[in-house]
Amino acid sequence: MKSKPKIAIIKFASCDGCQLTLLDAEDELLAIADAVDLAHFAEASSRLDAGPYDVAIVEGSITTEEDRLRLLRLRQECRWMVTIGACATSGGIQALRNFADHEEFIRAVYATPETIHSLATSTPIASHVRVDFELRGCPVDKSQLLEVLSSLIAGHRPRTSTESVCQPCKRKGTVCVVVAQGIPCLGPITQSGCGSICPAFDRGCYGCFGPTVQPNMAGHSQGVLLPRMSERDAVNLLRGFNAAAPSFQQESVRLWQITQTRDSTR
Amino acid sequence: MTPIHLGNNSDATSTSSKSSSNHTQDRNQWPHGFLPKEQFPAFIDLLNQSFDEVIGPRVDQGAIVYDAIRSASELPHGWTDVQSPGVYRLERKSSIDDSRTDHSCEEEYFGYNVGPHSWKKYLFPPLTTLMKSKKTTDGWQMEMTAEPIKRRVLLGVRACELAAIAIQDKVFLTSGTVDPIYQTRRNHLLIIAVNCTQAASTCFCTSMNSGPECRSGFDLAMTELSDGFLVEVGSDAGQTIFESLKLRTVTTDEIDRGRTRRARAVEQITKRMNTDGIRDRLLSQLENPHWNDIASRCLSCANCTMVCPTCFCSSVDEVHALTDDEIVRQRRWDSCFNVDISHLSGGPVRDTIRSRYRQWLTHKLATWIDQFDTSGCVGCGRCITWCPVGIDLTKEVATLCEESS
């Protein structure tokens, strides 16, 4: 893409944290503004140009019918679509509703439930439209986001690693918290990108960047989680920011069923 | 103090094999001396004055890691560790009730087993900038990044780790292509080895013929006794330091005590791997169904390859600035457990955990021999301890080759 790409940053159901990551890139912000045409970035500017766009950078998940239709229109208005963050790539923390009775949640939370029109599930953007590139994370990592932007400018596919969180841990010299402290950790089955922050502070990985390419979920539960925590706690750990990422979801459902079977036989 | 010249005898490209063979033959001709414990802190100070960096063991993050050591007080005095597959626990030496040893409650500087780090990070750094290029009016200007030379001491190198360095010497220096980063770092190294006087349950150097006694590849080697260190010279650079220490000669009693302590390490090694004909035995098992059993446990997380002191895979990436006029070429540790490492046109060649574990194990123990004329394993046991699910390669090999372990 040799001319200045016209970029729109569009949000659906999300906390805005991923867009903030772009604003956090203070040292690079002027270069970004210089290299691209930021046609629509509501968090940064009152300029809100209509499409078509070369690239739509999409944050957030689809949780209402209104948003679903807005997304379908947006897809027709952009050449490439890049989704950023756990909400857009797996449904986000709000996908916890997928495991429960959504109507019951609405009745419990809102004074006038009849005014709430939301879908029963929170789903990633790619469940509805074709997505050209997904950038993981809760929130996305600044340097990975810059890699995506600079790739768009240079006109090649972004180079973001698909390795496990363990590998940046090891390169940094972080001692494994599973082995040395017995702390349950999602690192071995989670994709890197965050810089392996939590284990460097004596915490297990929370899986913010979602599952690796070929995660051995059952092997991980058996070997890493269940020797150190109950099935219920393992379910809660897997149901975090990427609860509805397919492999995390399947494993948390499997572990939940184990607890249910055991409870019913008691 | 006399400057210590590392150039001649630490030049790994030409002399590592020479000096080691010299040393093995003439071992008793090199001088031995006794360094009393009271003088040990001054010895560490001397090393710090004579070198840019002294790297040694220290307690950090619940383990004994390798890091810069500025004084003897930073060493893990009185600390040890207990290891088993997937488990490492740091302990005070006095808390271990070990009836097998005469000195169970004694505080030692080097009374621990190899930990999560290996010396490889100082010779083959985890992340390195290889080159920078900048777009100018005259086109792209390339600039090779030459890192500042650091003269380093590696303090506390164990026999299995000396063997690992010798293997990486083959990989990076003498098997065709010379890696200039490794070479420069290697040529400016003083290696102070320490003989093991204990072993972890995960150690199996005796099976790999790599320890526990340090026989070659060091400048100085020490055996820790309760009251001091037996110091043995292994090179001219070691000799220079040895002379500056003005040590008295060792007594027969001290030699005996050192021998007893080294024997204790041998006695404590209970893990075994049958290496007889291991290349052919393993390669005849490529379709063994047990690989599926391993793949059900293996997470393909690559921890084993990261902690392995001989694993040498890396990948090179070009990182460019937003302005598209500046590119940095970076090299970082990679692993055969990553799907992307075998990605060719059409997709990854090793697309399952089974195929990736099989590749790692058969390379490490079998085809490494074809490639480098040595096993890729030194029996340090790191891949066993630091595997988060505790996969023990010695057990897997025994099962694959149907032995009773």
Per-residue confidence band for B19, with pLDDT thresholds at 50, 70 and 90 = very low
Inter-axis angle of helices B159-169 and B12-25, nearest 10? 140
Q: Which two tokens stand for residue B388?
A: 């988060």
pLDDT over 90 percentage in chain A? 83
Per-residue confidence band for B145, with pLDDT thresholds at 50, 70 and 90 = confident
Which DSSP category does A120 fall into?
A: S
Per-residue confidence band for A65, with pLDDT thresholds at 50, 70 and 90 = very high
Interface of B with A in 43-82 (CB under 8 A): 60-63, 65
* Confidence (pLDDT) at B156: 98
Q: Which two tokens stand for residue A191?
A: 């994709």
Cα torsion B95, B100, B106, B109 to 10°: value is -100
What is the average per-residue pLDDT within A167-176? Answer: 98
Of A49-63, A143-157, B56-70, B87-101, least confident by mean pLDDT is: B87-101
Nearest to B193 by CA among B227, B216, B226, B168: B216
Per-residue pLDDT at B31 exceeds 90: no
Per-residue pLDDT at B318 exceeds 90: no
Per-residue pLDDT at B28 exceeds 90: no
Look at A180 and B86 and tell me if their CB atoms are within 8 Å.
Answer: no
Whether residue B368 contacts residue B375, with contact meaning beta carbons closer than 8 Å, is answered with yes
Whether residue B329 contacts residue B318, with contact meaning beta carbons closer than 8 Å, is answered with yes
What is the average per-residue pLDDT within B255-279? Answer: 96
Interface of B with A in 135-194 (CB under 8 A): none
Q: How many CB pairs under 8 A join A and B?
A: 135
Q: Is the peptide bond before A188 cis (omega within 30 degrees of 0)?
A: no
Return the H-helix or E-strand segment holding B230: strand B228-233
Look at A181 and B62 and tell me if their CB atoms are within 8 Å.
Answer: yes
Per-residue pLDDT at B328 exceeds 60: yes
What is the average per-residue pLDDT within A148-169? Answer: 89
Distance CA B221, CA B158 (A): 9
Nearest to A9 by CA among A63, A83, A79: A83
Distance CA A244, CA A123 (A): 8
Return the H-helix or E-strand segment holding B154: strand B152-157
Per-residue pLDDT at B32 exceeds 70: yes
Which residue in this structure is represented by tokens 């070009």? B318
* Confidence (pLDDT) at A2: 56
- Residue B221 phi, psi dihedral angles, 5° rounding: -130, 140
- Strand order of the β-sheet with A6-11 is A37-41, A6-11, A53-59, A78-84, A133-135
Interface of A with B in 129-168 (CB under 8 A): 146-147, 149-150, 153-154, 159, 161-164, 166-167
- Cβ atoms within 10 A of the Cβ of A94, count? 21
Distance CA B76, CA B73 (A): 8
Q: Report strand pairing: B326-333 vs B127-136.
A: antiparallel
Return the residue of A nearest to B320 by Cα.
A150
Look at B61 and A202 and tell me if their CB atoms are within 8 Å.
Answer: yes
Per-residue pLDDT at B99 exceeds 70: no
- Cβ atoms within 10 A of the Cβ of B160, count? 26
Chain A contacts of B334, Cβ < 8 Å?
163
Look at A150 and B296 and tell me if their CB atoms are within 8 Å.
Answer: no
Considering CB atoms only, which of A28, A216, A222 is closest to B322? A28
Q: Is the ipTM of this complex over 0.90?
A: yes
The CB-side HSE value for B85 (13 A sphere, CA atoms) comes to: 11
Q: Which CATH class is domain A6-154?
A: alpha beta
pLDDT over 70 percentage in chain A? 99
* Confidence (pLDDT) at B3: 52
Radius of gyration of chain B (CA): 22
Chain A contacts of B314, Cβ < 8 Å?
none
- Cβ atoms within 10 A of the Cβ of A227, count? 15
What is the average per-residue pLDDT within B247-261? Answer: 94
* Confidence (pLDDT) at B197: 96
Q: Is the peptide bond before B41 cis (omega within 30 degrees of 0)?
A: no
DSSP string, B35-103: EEGGGHHHHHHHHHHHSSEEEEEEEETTEEEEEE--SGGGS-TTEEEEEETTEEEEEEGGG---TT-TT
Q: Which two tokens stand for residue B348?
A: 């990854």
Look at B388 and A185 and tell me if their CB atoms are within 8 Å.
Answer: yes
Per-residue confidence band for B96, with pLDDT thresholds at 50, 70 and 90 = low
Per-residue pLDDT at A104 exceeds 70: yes
Nearest to A25 by CA among A39, A6, A38: A38
Return the H-helix or E-strand segment holding A56: strand A53-59
Whether residue B134 contacts residue B143, with contact meaning beta carbons closer than 8 Å, is answered with yes
Per-residue pLDDT at B16 exceeds 50: no
Which residue in this structure is represented by tokens 């999300």? A14
Per-residue confidence band for A32, with pLDDT thresholds at 50, 70 and 90 = confident
Per-residue pLDDT at A220 exceeds 50: yes
Q: What's the mean pLDDT when you consider all of chain B?
A: 90
Return the residue of A nearest to B322 by Cα.
A150
> For chain A, what are the domain ranges?
6-154, 166-265
What is the average per-residue pLDDT within A184-212? Answer: 97
Distance CA B121, CA B309 (A): 9
Distance CA B400, CA B360 (A): 14
Distance to chain A for B232, nearest Cα, Å: 31
- Note whether A207 contacts B: Cβ–Cβ < 8 A: no
What is the average per-residue pLDDT within B193-210? Answer: 98
* Confidence (pLDDT) at B100: 46
Burial zone of B276 (CB within 10 Å; 0-12 exposed, 13-18 middle, 19+ buried): exposed
* Confidence (pLDDT) at B1: 44
* Confidence (pLDDT) at B98: 47
Distance CA B4, CA B220 (A): 13
Task: Report which of residues B324 and B146 the model is more confident about.
Answer: B146
At A106-122, the pLDDT tens digits run: 999 999 999 999 999 99
Per-residue pLDDT at B200 exceeds 60: yes
Look at B317 and A154 and tell me if their CB atoms are within 8 Å.
Answer: no
* Confidence (pLDDT) at A151: 86
Cα A115 versus chain centre, distance: 29
- Between CA A193 and CA A203, with CA A198 as vertex, the angle to 5 degrees is 150
- Strand order of the β-sheet with B139-144 is B139-144, B127-136, B326-333, B314-320
Q: What's the mean pLDDT when you consider all of chain A?
A: 94
Per-residue confidence band for B403, with pLDDT thresholds at 50, 70 and 90 = low
Distance to chain B for A126, nearest Cα, Å: 22
Of A78-87, A209-218, B285-294, B311-320, least confident by mean pLDDT is: B311-320
Q: Which two tokens stand for residue A127?
A: 């469940």
Distance CA B108, CA A39 (A): 66
Q: Which two tokens stand for residue B36?
A: 């009393």
* Confidence (pLDDT) at A159: 85
Which residue in this structure is represented by tokens 């650091």? B150
What is the average per-residue pLDDT within B143-159? Answer: 93
What is the average per-residue pLDDT within B297-320? Answer: 96
Per-residue confidence band for A26, with pLDDT thresholds at 50, 70 and 90 = confident
What is the average per-residue pLDDT within B54-65? Answer: 98
Residue type, A123: T
Collapsing DSSP to helix, strand or coil, B177 comes out as: coil
Distance CA B74, CA A194 (A): 31
pLDDT over 70 percentage in chain B? 89
Distance CA B242, CA A231 (A): 59
Whether residue B76 contacts residue B58, with contact meaning beta carbons closer than 8 Å, is answered with yes
Q: Is the peptide bond before A52 cis (omega within 30 degrees of 0)?
A: yes
Per-residue pLDDT at B21 exceeds 70: no
Radius of gyration of chain A (CA): 20
